Amino acid sequence: MEGTTKKVLDIIKHHNSIVIFGHTLPDGDCYGSQIALREILSATFKDKKVYAVGSGLPLLFPRLGEMDIVNDETIKNSLAILVDVSDFPLVEDKRIALAQTYIKIDHHHESNPFIHEKIMDHGVIATAELIARIAFANSFVITKKAAEAIFLGIVTDSGRFVYEPTRKETFEIVARLFDYGLDMKAIYDTIYQTEENQLKYKGFLLSNYKKTRHKVIYCYANKNDYLPLRLKFAYASSQVNVLANIKGSPIFALFTQNENGGLRVELRSNGIPIRDIAVKHGGGGHANAAGVRMEKGGYKEAMAIVKDLDNLAKEKTYNVGK
């Protein structure tokens, strides 16, 4: 990995303009990684123009920073860095195709080989953790915003340090972030506050989930389940962990249809690898946390995935809840 990292860093040093791209429906690790990398590169290489594009997480804009608005010409003349996204079709800002040079920093498995230079490590809990490791190893400047953005990525992708592969090294990195001004409570107070309409939606999920013969938990939500609550699709479709930790059910899934007839699928498990099922249906991700994005899809497509999950649960021997 050391040789690969050097090649990627040499490419970064060679470009005076850099645009950082993330995935559709950005989560804490995507937004955190984009902001952290922008902060670190801008502070370390003061002669470079560094931008982060996409929708980000508006809830955190006052504390960590807004996303940049750049024109097409800027992208054409910039290095494009993909962070926390495995492949081009999953990138939120499709103008990435205008760039001439690409690199990637990510912790996801690839569904399709990324032919450009990249830094990848499936053994870290978050891309933000990987960015921190690179910054520490190369003595890059880490600002307070960068430290808090890295923490955001790690704490959200790890489910507050619950999910694998949270490791000793994860905690060591977080401990070092306090040296750069990390205010952990301020981040927690922002990302874990709950509005009443959000609480009502979580109640809907817990009141309407179903369980298959082999104890797969799933819930299907259409636009009429969240729009009347004044909730956006991005939030409604991200709440899969509301269904976590139901005794005896190590696999759980949330299917959410958007206003345009598309379907977001979020799959999770406690120990049973479910990534192959996501890949089968056009998605990807990690062994125990994967997803699918369908431009067109509904209940029929959701039930096909549920059937595959149920067959998988039938095949596997597990002890959860016993």
pLDDT in tens, 196-243: 999 999 999 999 999 999 999 999 999 999 999 999 999 999 999 999
Is 1 a residue whose pLDDT tops 90?
no
Is 13 a residue whose pLDDT tops 70?
yes
Is 288 a residue whose pLDDT tops 90?
no
Confidence of residue 318 (pLDDT cuts 50, 70, 90): very low
Percent of the chain with pLDDT over 90: 82
Per-residue confidence (pLDDT) for residue 317, from 0 to 100: 52
Across 86-108, average pLDDT: 93
Percent of the chain with pLDDT over 70: 97
Q: What is the side-by-side order of every strand in the sheet holding 284-285?
A: 210-211, 217-221, 251-257, 263-269, 289-294, 284-285
Q: Please state which CATH number belongs to domain 199-315.
A: 3.10.310.30
Distance in angstroms between the alpha carbons of the first and the last residue of the chain: 41
Is 319 a residue whose pLDDT tops 50?
no
Residues of the chain with CATH 3.90.1640.10: 2-191
Find all residues with CB under 8 Å of 103, minimum gap 6, and list them.
8, 11, 12, 79, 80, 81, 82, 116, 117, 118, 119
CA-wise closest residue to 160 among 212, 125, 205, 110:
125
Is 287 a residue whose pLDDT tops 90?
no
Per-residue confidence (pLDDT) for residue 86, from 0 to 100: 87
Evaluate whether 219 touches 205 at the Cβ level (below 8 Å).
Answer: yes
Query: How far is residue 312's CA from residue 317's CA, in Å, rounded to a whole number?
Result: 10
Residues of the chain with CATH 3.10.310.30: 199-315
Is 320 a residue whose pLDDT tops 80?
no
Our measurement of the distance from residue 137's CA atom to the centroid of its chain's CA atoms, rounded to an integer in Å, reads 24
**Would you tell me the crossing angle of helices 28-44 and 127-137 to the nearest 10 degrees?**
20
Confidence of residue 180 (pLDDT cuts 50, 70, 90): very high
Per-residue confidence (pLDDT) for residue 321, from 0 to 100: 44
Q: Quick one: CATH architecture of 2-191?
A: Alpha-Beta Complex (3.90)
Does 193 or 79 have the greater pLDDT score?
79
Query: How far is residue 182's CA from residue 58's CA, in Å, rounded to a whole number?
Result: 20
Per-residue confidence (pLDDT) for residue 5, from 0 to 100: 86
Across 150-173, average pLDDT: 93
Confidence of residue 26 (pLDDT cuts 50, 70, 90): very high
* Tokens at 98, concatenated: 């205008």
Cα distances from 318 to residues 159, 162, 202, 275, 312, in angstroms, run 22, 19, 27, 17, 11
Q: What is the side-by-side order of every strand in the sheet holding 17-21?
A: 49-52, 17-21, 79-83, 101-106, 117-120
Is 2 a residue whose pLDDT tops 90?
no
Across 300-305, average pLDDT: 96
Our measurement of the distance from residue 258's CA atom to the centroid of its chain's CA atoms, rounded to an integer in Å, reads 19
Across 230-258, average pLDDT: 94
Across 15-41, average pLDDT: 96
Confidence of residue 66 (pLDDT cuts 50, 70, 90): very high
Per-residue confidence (pLDDT) for residue 3, from 0 to 100: 59
Q: Please give the model's pTM, rounded to 2 decimal places.
A: 0.83
Is 322 a residue whose pLDDT tops 70?
no
DSSP classification of residue 66 = P
